[in-house]
Amino acid sequence: MELRRKLCIVVAVFVTVVGLASGNFVFKVQHKFAGKAKKLEHFKSHDTRRHSRMLASVDFPLGGDSRVDSVGLYFTRIKLGTPPKEYHVQVDTGSDILWVNCAPCPKCPTKTNLNFRLSLFDVNASSTATKVGCEDDFCSFISQSDSCQPAVGCSYHIVYADESTSDGNFIRDKLTLEQVTGDLKTGPLGQDVVFGCGSDQSGQLGNSDSAVDGVMGFGQSNTSILSQLAASGDAKRVFSHCLDNVKGGGIFAVGVVDSPKVKTTPMVPNQMHYNVMLMGMDVGGAALDLPPSIVRNGGTIVDSGTTLAYFPKVLYDSLIETILARQPVKLHVVEETFQCFTFSKNVDEAFPPVNFEFEDSVKLTVYPHDYLFTLEDDLYCFGWQAGGLTTDERSEVILLGDLVLSNKLVVYDLENEVIGWADHNCSSTIKVKDGSGGDYSVGADNLSSAPPLLMTTKLLTFLLTLIAVAFTSLA
């Protein structure tokens, strides 16, 4: 299963991919709700769909950790095939394959409200496309070599808890990235990758108003684009993102970031998601009691695909109660879910920060302007939610989504099995390392105001950038 969700507060995101050996790559990413009025049902309904999918069994032969959500909040443009053709795909750090809708596909979506035209990949129109056979190593990665039918080739079938499905076959073809050859200079570079060619979609995948052409997964398995690039020696299994929920921009980069520096905490091993050990939590210095199972089982998930933040009911009640003890307000429930109140003063001056402490004394601070959002003038709502989320073993889970991760550079280092972060202005720049010892500045942007992808050539290891942030799925 996979976790997913994307931030509904962020309007647009610019994803950057940086590489060592081959170069740096930049993806420009758009937020799903860019330019649209915020509605509370958008926040909760998206997370609810993603949660059900993440927690349900998935009939997908990827070792149990290939979960995909049908609706992403962030998307980017990529080019596939020869000659290259553009496709809009959601950037998903929780799933493990790249797949796009392919022709013919009578049940694939035909329109979207995301201001671009949907496209179907045509295997026959690409001179470099080849079918992935049963004998291919990729097929063994998804544990399908025994059941694979030679006449059909290596195929996939995904079933979600909401009964949405995706079916298709795997194809090997060129993924074209724009390589950064200097400051603000780019050139195309093609990489051979294996991706899913979807021929039959149902449920939300088939009729979503916010449909995209597919999903680009940056999960931990051998089938993800990141792992494929790493296996070929073109990339390291390191990526980072920086989401700005104030101006609506951001950066998502794969590779070694030189600055800002981040402090890291170990990832919990042998997990399908990005789990970390939460050791303590306080509200402006007032400690909260964590459920023992959370600490014992490493049940805290970092998921940039999730919009809000979800806690066990007892911890949620304690969190809200402690915040209100510092700043009393009269709460009322909006849309049967959100705790809201009227307030006319500066929330950062009146409300306390919430601090999370992780293993190795790594601290993450969430400020009032992050955990409170406005619906209209002087009307605020808490982004904290009572989740009721559990694992397959029924252990309680804390899910930290974009509400917690915004306005920070977050680094996922799969090679060293650590996750780190640092407060950062996500509308500014970060610096990525050059293999020769230098570094390049990479900045945020908006998909609609610049070319689809960017890349760079002077690094010793190939880095790839995406978001997701539109970080997608206990949904």
Catalytic residue selected from 47, 65, 69, 92: 92
Q: Is the pLDDT of residue 304 over 70?
A: yes
Quick: pLDDT tens for 78-112: 899 999 999 988 777 667 889 999 999 888 888 88
- pLDDT at res. 437: 61
Asked if 92 is an active-site residue, the reply is yes
- pLDDT at res. 287: 97
- Contact between 9 and 373 (Cβ < 8 Å): yes
Q: In the structure, what pLDDT confidence band is assigned to residue 169 with cuts at 50, 70 and 90?
A: very high
- Contact between 444 and 428 (Cβ < 8 Å): yes
Count CB neighbours of 151 within 10 A: 6
Quick: pLDDT tens for 392-417: 666 788 989 888 888 899 999 999 99
Q: Is the pLDDT of residue 464 over 80?
A: no
- pLDDT at res. 329: 97
Structure tokens, 277 = 């050990």
- pLDDT at res. 52: 44
Asked if 303 is an active-site residue, the reply is yes
Give the pTM: 0.76
Catalytic residue selected from 303, 370, 402, 413: 303
Q: In the structure, what pLDDT confidence band is assigned to residue 127 with cuts at 50, 70 and 90?
A: very high
Quick: pLDDT tens for 365-397: 999 999 998 888 899 999 999 976 666 666 788
- pLDDT at res. 211: 84
The C-alpha atoms of residue 237 and residue 225 are separated, in whole angstroms, by 10
Residue 333 has phi, psi (to 5 degrees) of -90, 130
Q: Is the pLDDT of residue 322 over 70?
A: yes
In whole numbers, what is the pLDDT of the chain averaged over residues?
75
